[in-house]
Amino acid sequence: MTNDQEQEKDVTGATTGATIWLTGLPSAGKTTIAYELAGRLSAEGRRVQVLDGDEIREFLSAGLGFSREDRHTNVQRIGYVAELLARNGVLALAPVIAPYADSRDAVRKRHQAEGTAYLEVHVATPVDVCSVRDVKGLYAKQAAGEISGLTGVDDPYEAPGSPDLRIESHQQTVQESAAALHALLTERGLA
């Protein structure tokens, strides 16, 4: 075991976990950055889990729509799972749009109440860049009138006012974005 890994142990001998919530518009790069960081953390011997928002919607939140209430419920479910993992020594990476500040605040408060580390990362990619990336074709569908309620276009996105880190993924590589987040985790004693 390296000195860094020994320092990550708390007084009970458990590895310190945390939730790292990556919020941003669709196609901002949240999931790509999360998986890049997860690979690096895993290679360092850390227990890490990516809670991909799309996978959660399919397996844990199936049946929820995209109303404000359903989005809030989805975010709370992800927040609960993330906190549970983090409390048990896992670095839980949650790349989830989570468009409403009050939903994200409720997740942060759950973590605070449990004494679990929580970091909010805003992947602050402009909507015009996201619409060009359009990983899932959502912006094209919205422009064609096939869908409505697209976050940041015809549905609100409340950007974090004071995130722990703001990543402008359109101005750096995925590796640079993951490195910036890794540096924050190291600074906070979580990596």
Bridge partners, 23 (sequence order):
122
Tens digit of each residue's pLDDT (9 = 90 or more) over 94-142: 999 999 999 999 999 999 999 999 999 999 999 999 999 998 999 999 9
Residue 3: its pLDDT value, please?
A: 41
Residue 2: its pLDDT value, please?
A: 43
Show the DSSP H helices in 67-126 as ranges: 68-87, 101-114
pTM for the model stands at 0.90
Bridge partners, 15 (sequence order):
9
Q: Which of 128, 126, 62, 66 is nearest to 98 (CA)?
A: 66
Chain mean pLDDT for the chain: 91
- Phi, psi angle pair for 76, to nearest 5°: -65, -40
* Rounded (10°) CA dihedral 14, 75, 104, 138: 120
The mean pLDDT value for 50-67 works out to 91
The mean pLDDT value for 1-24 works out to 64
pLDDT at 11 exceeding the cut of 60 = no
Query: Which of 5-9, 56-60, 63-67, 173-177 is most confident?
Result: 173-177
Position with higher pLDDT, 183 vs 53: 183
